[in-house]
A and B are shown apart, each in its own frame.
Chain A
């Protein structure tokens, strides 16, 4: 971020010069379900966005945060309707504008950046043309040359190298981060007063996310646009938003300046969310997890919608009977809770409990930490041959000499961004893909030479939980049958065992009679875990198993995994892009970059003294609560190189802030630096 941007962010705004750019009042949005029922999805939402300000709109899926902003854009889908309330853009009421009038406002006064740049850009149109289109829409009399010049100016503004050449390329020639920059350029084309960013970086890797957020801050600083940042990521809003509004089940439950909100949350939901977030700075034995799940809007509890999950409600009649209004508490803060005064005490008590646990039982003894190696990978490699144009064939080295050694009852974290090879590694370990070389030893015996029946027997000891809880369960099957499947395959089915497994993961036997579409993401993930445990495996591979879940649900699943590990003596391979989750659950970490392990050490060592510049860049890129600005000099530069043509020498050198001529010549080997068993692959690794 430039100095100007920081200055703009820091400019104190007094109450007098506040002109709201956007002001939403008592907005209610309804949906008509196919059976004619009307359901309120957004209830009585009010907030202002002031000049130059970034308002973070935070909530889990189903909270109504995206719907609210779609209403501001006049883009509500069919079946959705604004029932009451007003939306004013610079004082102009827009709820009663026709579609045509709204079109004039969209893109000019307000514009939006969606989550997925892939679907926002038209794949068959040249990038430059698409940006030009955005300009021409609102400036019909501008000349061709003038517009082109402006496009190129915009593209360079958002940090796209060689804008003249890039102008005539297609979206698929851009990386994800570059595409999102193009989308930002389009959104900024007419210098709107208000920018709405809906999960703008959720589809991107962390190192790229940091770059894109900076570009966003820079262009905003230049034009002075206000922004609404919609996200589920508390770390991200804490770094980039001035003020926050937290939504739950269609309502705003708390509003506060971001520093204050994180320092002293007043709503029990906010407090719970913050407590359930795994943090980079410290590791706790169990995360707080808000019990239960977000209610179905058709079956919202009477009274406070949060009551069934609330830590301080205690079934008090007021909470159960009366829905609390959003009331102002002190300057700039508002909260919707009858007993908000008690939240602070709960947070303190919870914090104290954590610290007690931490000092009393520093490391709980695990059931099966007897130090035998359960899973060993040695020099795994995998090469894909990728067909190019015509007869061209290029080789993609998805795995290069990956080795690790995993002891019983431990958890190994495999960390990497897209293209790192971590998913390929999971598939090779599971023998869903054949390795090009190397060997995997499970309980001491090699896996790769096994075939047919023998393989099917042995692989039962090595099970997997996948990321997507929606595609991992056969939609036609009853849950009971889903979990029974491995038992039936093995010929050891018994209904009791299935019910026992359901109980292990916190579900009742009755749940077994329903089908997967009736369950939420978190519950499905529990079911997937139960299925993977059916045959008593030794090792569980968790392939981004918590990445698709909401924060409060993620904490539940992480706690469940930790508990199961303790109770059953399981060994985990935890594959993830999320370093804070990895820190929380893993004993050892292997960081991968372009198919290679570039750092391999204990979790403590990786986080306290990261040795490889890439690891340090990753750590610096993670947005975290109350920490800003982060170590900017450590951030990885630019984009992932083309994996088909990796750079000579060290594969990371094109992005490394420390690269020298030596790095281009020799590839560093993965070796010890100072400490024993802290391996890293860098010529200049820090010990």
Chain B
């Protein structure tokens, strides 16, 4: 195996590296202070310096908090929510997809019916309704986002299972007395999972955007915990005065989402070749 990357992979890796620095490295720096307010330093521009000589690489917000630190913390919150939501939806989707594809019959009809139903209701609307009832919290957000986005995993998992279950190594195992659980664990899951990771890298971007939109609407993360969506919402009011307030989180969001999109496309290309062969 040689470690040579395609252009797409290289871009994806670069973009994600930038985000990793923001989310992981920045909080380790001494300047990290997402909550410290300093009203006299409020709304400093990018690279701004306060009169007492404090340097703010990305400026400050309305309350004079360091934008870089805020962005990093918000990034942590967003990725945390994204990852947990993806994990939740992956588990639900793969389980339901494998069950539907392996057992077929009425179970499959029910599961796929559920999927159709889920898709027929706009996700944002559903999310708004649910958060309005349950009330916003980070854990709740992750679970709700996860539960409502299992359908793409389920569909792909089912499709792959349908073709795999007719493959002769699974037929052989059935003839040898393998139970459904055995076949699903030993043969289906390991063959389906790599494909699921592609779906996951695509879905991750979607979830981040969804979370941002919810937070933007005030239904997501609650202050003082920042989230990119919320930061965009706050910054909107100062677009003329301090455009970086809304622009910086937007750019961060953009980089993360595009990075994951590219990553999933790069994966898909690689795996297509495998599927053909």
Contact = CB atoms under 8 A, between A and B. Distances in A.
A514 interface: no
A333 to B, nearest CB: 40
B171 A464 contact: yes
Interface of B: 2, 167-169, 171-179, 182, 186-187, 190-191
B168 A489 contact: no
Contact of A489 (B167, B182, B190, B191): B182
Interface stretch (A225-233, A313-321, A359-367, A471-479): A471-479
A322 B246 CA distance: 77
A489 B177 contact: yes
A199 to B, nearest CB: 21
B177 A459 contact: yes
A456 B171 contact: no
Contacts of A466: 168, 171-172
Given A468-B168, A471-B167, A473-B169, A485 B175 contact: no
A432 B190 contact: no
Contacts of B190: 476
B174 A528 contact: no
A531 interface: yes
Contacts of A485: 173, 176, 178, 186
Contact of B177 (A457, A473, A476): A457
A563 B182 CA distance: 33
A490 B177 CA distance: 8
A549 to B, nearest CB: 15
B169 A474 contact: yes
A489 B178 contact: yes
Contacts of B167: 471-472
Contacts of B186: 485
Given A471-B167, A472-B169, A473-B169, A432 B175 contact: yes
A432 B169 contact: no
Nearest to A34: B2
Contacts of B177: 455-457, 459-460, 486, 489-490, 535
Given A471-B167, A476-B190, A489 B172 contact: no
A460 B182 CA distance: 16
Contacts of A603: none
Contacts of A474: 169, 187, 191
A258 interface: no
Contacts of A307: none
10 contacts: A35-B2, A432-B171, A457-B177, A459-B176, A482-B169, A485-B173, A485-B176, A486-B173, A489-B176, A528-B172
A139 B165 CA distance: 50
Contacts of A102: none
Contacts of B178: 456, 485, 489
Contacts of B174: 432
Contact of B169 (A456, A471, A490, A535): A471
Interface residues of A, number: 28
Nearest to A35: B2
A486 B187 CA distance: 13
A531 B173 CA distance: 10
Contacts of A532: 172
B172 A472 contact: yes
Contacts of B169: 471-474, 482
Contacts of A457: 177
Q: Tell me which of B169, B176, B177 has the highest count of chain A C-beta atoms within 10 A of its own C-beta.
A: B176
A20 B252 CA distance: 71
Contact of A463 (B2, B168, B176, B187): B176
A290 interface: no
Nearest to A463: B175
Contacts of B2: 35
Given A432-B174, A485-B173, A485-B186, A472 B179 contact: no
A462 B174 CA distance: 11
Contact of B172 (A456, A464, A490): A464
Interface of A: 35, 430, 432, 455-457, 459-460, 462-464, 466, 468, 471-474, 476, 482, 485-486, 489-490, 528, 531-532, 534-535
Nearest to A476: B190
Contacts, number: 61
Nearest to B179: A456
Nearest to A470: B168
A486 B32 CA distance: 58
Nearest to A452: B179
Interface class of chain B by DSSP: helix
A468 B171 CA distance: 12
A69 B53 CA distance: 79
A466 B182 CA distance: 21
Q: Tell me which of B167, B172, B177 has the highest count of chain A C-beta atoms within 10 A of its own C-beta.
A: B172
A36 to B, nearest CB: 10
A432 B173 CA distance: 11
B175 A462 contact: yes
A432 B170 CA distance: 11
A593 B182 CA distance: 37
A489 B175 contact: no
A482 B176 CA distance: 12
Contacts of A471: 167-169
A468 B172 CA distance: 12
A118 to B, nearest CB: 17
Contacts of A535: 176-177
B85 to A, nearest CB: 28
B46 to A, nearest CB: 46
Nearest to B176: A486
Contacts of A486: 173, 176-177
A457 B178 CA distance: 10
Given A471-B167, A474-B187, A476-B191, A531 B172 contact: yes
Given A474-B187, A476-B190, A476-B191, A489 B173 contact: yes
A655 B174 CA distance: 39
Contacts of A462: 175
A355 to B, nearest CB: 40
Q: Tell me which of B169, B171, B175, B178 has the highest count of chain A C-beta atoms within 10 A of its own C-beta.
A: B175
In the complex, the 7 A-B pairs of residues with the closest C-beta atoms, listed nearest first? A456-B177, A472-B168, A486-B176, A466-B168, A474-B169, A471-B168, A471-B167
Contacts of A455: 177
B175 A459 contact: yes
A532 B127 CA distance: 52
Nearest to A474: B169
Contacts of B175: 430, 432, 459, 462-464
A307 B167 CA distance: 38
Contacts of A456: 177-179
A471 B182 CA distance: 19
Nearest to A462: B175
Contacts of A531: 172, 176
Given A462-B175, A490-B177, A528-B172, 9 more contacts: A430-B171, A432-B175, A456-B177, A459-B176, A460-B177, A471-B167, A472-B172, A535-B176, A535-B177
Nearest to B191: A476
Nearest to B2: A35
A455 B177 CA distance: 8
A68 B174 CA distance: 43
A289 B190 CA distance: 38
Contacts of A460: 176-177
Contacts of B173: 485-486, 489
A462 B175 CA distance: 8
B103 to A, nearest CB: 14
Nearest to B174: A432
A164 B97 CA distance: 48
Contacts of B176: 459-460, 463, 485-486, 489-490, 531, 534-535
B1 to A, nearest CB: 10
Contacts of A476: 190-191
Nearest to A460: B177
Contacts of A432: 171, 174-175
Contacts of B171: 430, 432, 464, 466
B174 to A, nearest CB: 7
